Amino acid sequence: MTFAFGWAVWKKPSQFLMSVVKTLPLLLLVSLLIASVEELIFRGVFKDFLSQDYNIWLTAIISSAIFAVLHLIWERKNTIPQLPGLFLMGMVLFYSVYLLNGNLSMAMGIHGGWVVTLATLDTLDLYEYNTDANPWLWGCKERPLGSVAGIFILLLTLSIVQYFLA
């Protein structure tokens, strides 16, 4: 099945249900662990530390920039095009913490949801891009936030957070 104007193809593995049953619990656990640790560090410790000297929005900008840049540790080549998206992701997560007066639970849930979704799609190899697809528009498997579509998802999340929490 094709989607994204025919630029991506949904692939269903032959043993789809068995793959999901075997893989999803571990991916869920790892994703929530990663999200929780990152949120505790960037929207918890860094926010508290930086807010002693800076206003809330400068704190958000600094912690989101550090969040984005530190993702270069894992992989530089595929992370560099995603730096603006990672920065925006940090700002969206920071804003959810701000709206909940410092409570990290929403940010952990959103972050964990994004990570488990991408990890599941990639681990189970559930989609592939058409060679005619514009990577800057729809992204690549290795760079979901390095595209207009990735930024759109972040802005959509921001508007949902704003609607329900503000």
Tell me the pLDDT tens digit for each residue of 40-75: 999 999 999 999 999 999 999 999 999 999 999 988
Q: Is the pLDDT of residue 29 over 80?
A: yes
Strand intervals (E) in the chain: 2-3, 8-10, 127-129
DSSP code of residue 45:
I
CA distance 144 to 105: 24
Q: Is the pLDDT of residue 12 over 80?
A: no
Q: Judging by beta carbons within 10 Å of its beta carbon (0-12, 13-18, 19+), is residue 41 exposed, middle or buried?
A: middle
Q: How confident is the model at residue 3 (pLDDT cuts 50, 70, 90)?
A: low
| Number of compact structural domains in the chain | 1
Which among 140, 126, 133, 149 has a CA at the least distance from the CA of 78?
140
Domain holding 11, by residue range, is: 2-165
Task: Using a cut of 0.85, tell me whether the model's pTM lies above it.
Answer: yes
Q: Is the pLDDT of residue 89 over 90?
A: yes
Separation in Å, CA 152 to CA 85, 121, 143: 10, 19, 14
Indicate the average pLDDT of the chain: 89
| pLDDT tens, residue by residue, 109-136 | 999 999 999 898 888 877 777 767 677 7
Which among 104, 91, 103, 87 has a CA at the least distance from the CA of 37?
104
The better pLDDT of the pair 84, 140 is held by 84
Q: Beta partners for 49? A: none
